Homo-oligomer: A and B are copies of this chain.
Amino acid sequence: MSDEMPLARLFGIVLQHHYATLNERLRPFGLSAGQVPIMLRLAAGQNVTQEALARQFHVDKGAVARAARRLEEGGFIRREIDPIDRRAVRLFLTAEGERVVPEFVRFGREWEDAITAGLDADEQAMLRSLLDRVVGTCADARCCHE
């Protein structure tokens, strides 16, 4: 199986599998995997700043900007300049966005289910817990966020 596989490669393989799976399912929408986290976040509550998204998902603000642009071009979100702080852009789902986002949620959930199909509930919880802690360790290394 894992004959001398660097730990980093394991992460890479899983991540690429995620991109491949999501990209395929999102192609009919003209979208790809990078836009999903934004949609998921908006499904849970709108009126969100790009900066808040970048911070929440530990993603570069440039990546958020590009993803938001594609979502807007596709007609899934609307962007409004915050009247109080005119630097900030606030994101909202359009009617079309509201309509499709449950499917995106399902895509994400199904991928997680598929990937952890060989693990029982305890092992899944253990995996997430260990990943959380590893992420915490490497997040501390560079920035010192919340």
Contacts and interface: CB of A to CB of B under 8 A. Distances in A.
Contacts of A5: 56-57, 132
Contacts of A137: 114-118
A133 to B, nearest CB: 5
A144 interface: no
Given A58-B9, A126-B126, A1 B141 contact: no
Q: Is the interface of A mostly helix, strand, loop or mixed?
A: helix
A95 interface: no
A56 B3 contact: yes
Given A11-B11, A134-B116, A136-B1, A17 B142 contact: yes
Of all A-B residue pairs in the complex, the 4 with the closest CB atoms, nearest first, are: A17-B138, A8-B18, A10-B131, A11-B15
Interface of A: 1-15, 17-18, 20, 33, 36-37, 40-41, 44, 56-59, 108, 111-112, 114-119, 123, 126-128, 130-139, 141-142
